[in-house]
Amino acid sequence: MNLRAIGCNVGSAPVELREKLAFDADKTTRALAELTARYGAEAVVLGTCNRVELYLARPETGAPVHSPLVAEYLSELHGVPAADIHPHLYEHADADAVRHAFRVAAGLDSVVLGEDQIAGQVKDAFESAQRAGATGPLLNALFPAAARASKRVRTETGLGQGQVSVASAAVGFLKEVFNRFTDKTVLVIGAGEMGRLTLTHIRELQPAAVLVTNRSPEKAAALAAEFGGAPLLWEQLDDGLARADIVVSTTGADDFIVPRRRFDEKVRPRRGRRKLVVFDLAVPRDFDPRIDDGDAVTVFNVDDLNRVRDQQLAERRRHLAPAEELVAEEVTAFLTDWNRRKDGPVIGALTEEVNRIRDEVLGPLLGKLNGRLTAADKAAVEAAFRLMGNKMLHGPIAALKEASREGHGPGLREALMRLFGLK
């Protein structure tokens, strides 16, 4: 196995860096093509609001793609100095990379423990890579196995109980700020899946009014109608910001949609000292953080979820140990199956070669002894040679299986092939 999972997440890199490394559809397509061409690697790009990860698999005889190379590539793609990227990257190799992929898909490596959105995001990333022709034998086996592990965690443990996601954690945070919502106006910016999920939780708060705006007025109208809110034209965003008490922003814009100057000139004077809470769930961020004045206007981003996460997830943490054990089982099963696939052809070729040598020696011997042995004698000689061959095979095959379990299979497979002249 020659697998690497390299990236950064909310625990290793600040949002200021993660937003610069964010992948949109165009950059994902470009990266998949360039990574496969440049490194001769299978590739999957996973980009979410909390992480940017590359899964890269190369032939076992090839050199691994280590994090310095990935930092250089990300620097080239995003225009960020490699020296600013590399210190924040983590690198998982082979079996550890398999375990990392399974934990990510199961929500065990998320800001919100056990959140269920990540499973769909992992699936989408894999399917995008497949459509681009960037996957191969290893990643085509790895990601479906990660999906199975994720499903087991959610169905066989209590980790998936209740709706806990980035959006629900944000709403939980808002509950700490406001005592009631029946007199509040909520503005949701963005009509994608995150906006829909956020509205699902906000509806339970029974706010006085819900406004939805999006660059596409049709999408804004559809989402607003679904949740009993009112659509707002994108050109009326400043009006919405002036009216709102709570803003949840979830767009995929490349830069601030609300810079500080725009807010200070067109929104703040109309609000007076009325309190506004902005929860910016987008990466890259939608709101200039300098809008936060420490008094009337407060701006939170996804990295601010840690505190409310600790409060919301106390119950789920009780199920963490069983979930980790289940993931460990799935990792062992995957590695065993993968090593069987890789070892099988070598074991088959080695067995065939030992049998060939046995027949090459046994044939002339039985020819010389023709007529001097009874049928029972001949059968005993043949059985003795077969037993000798099997004993000769036992040591190399057992050693190969053990080496594969310990992650050293490629070297021993190559050595056996060279020693016995196998093809």
Catalytic residue list: 49
Q: Tokens 């949740």 — which residue?
A: 227
Residue type, 391: K
What is the Cα–Cα distance from 276 to 256, expressed in whole angstroms? 18
What is the Cα–Cα distance from 98 to 103, expressed in whole angstroms? 9
- 34: annotated binding-site residue? no
Mapping DSSP to helix (H, G, I), strand (E, B) and coil, where does residue 26 land? helix
Q: What angle do CA 16, 21, 22 make, to 5 degrees?
A: 100
- 121: annotated binding-site residue? yes
- 50: annotated binding-site residue? yes
- 110: annotated binding-site residue? yes
- Beta-bridged to residue 299, according to DSSP, are 278
- 377: annotated binding-site residue? no
The alpha carbon torsion through 185, 188, 193, 194 (nearest 10 deg) reads -90
- 47: annotated binding-site residue? no
- 48: annotated binding-site residue? yes
Do residues 50 and 44 touch, judged by C-beta distance below 8 A? Answer: no
- 51: annotated binding-site residue? yes
Parallel, antiparallel, or unpaired: how do β-strands 297-301 and 42-47 relate? unpaired
- Beta-bridged to residue 211, according to DSSP, are 187, 230
- 115: annotated binding-site residue? yes
- 190: annotated binding-site residue? yes
Do residues 303 and 311 touch, judged by C-beta distance below 8 A? Answer: no
- 116: annotated binding-site residue? yes
Residue type, 222: A
Q: Return the H-helix or E-strand segment holding 129.
A: helix 117-131
- Beta-bridged to residue 189, according to DSSP, are 213, 249
The alpha carbon torsion through 111, 117, 118, 120 (nearest 10 deg) reads 180
Q: Tell me phi and psi for residue 354, to 5 degrees.
A: -65, -40
Mapping DSSP to helix (H, G, I), strand (E, B) and coil, where does residue 211 land? strand
What is the Cα–Cα distance from 113 to 312, expressed in whole angstroms? 10
Could you tell me which residues are annotated as the binding site for substrate? 48-51, 110, 115-117, 121
Could you tell me which residues are annotated as the binding site for NADP(+)? 190-195
Could you tell me which residues are annotated as the binding site? 48-51, 110, 115-117, 121, 190-195
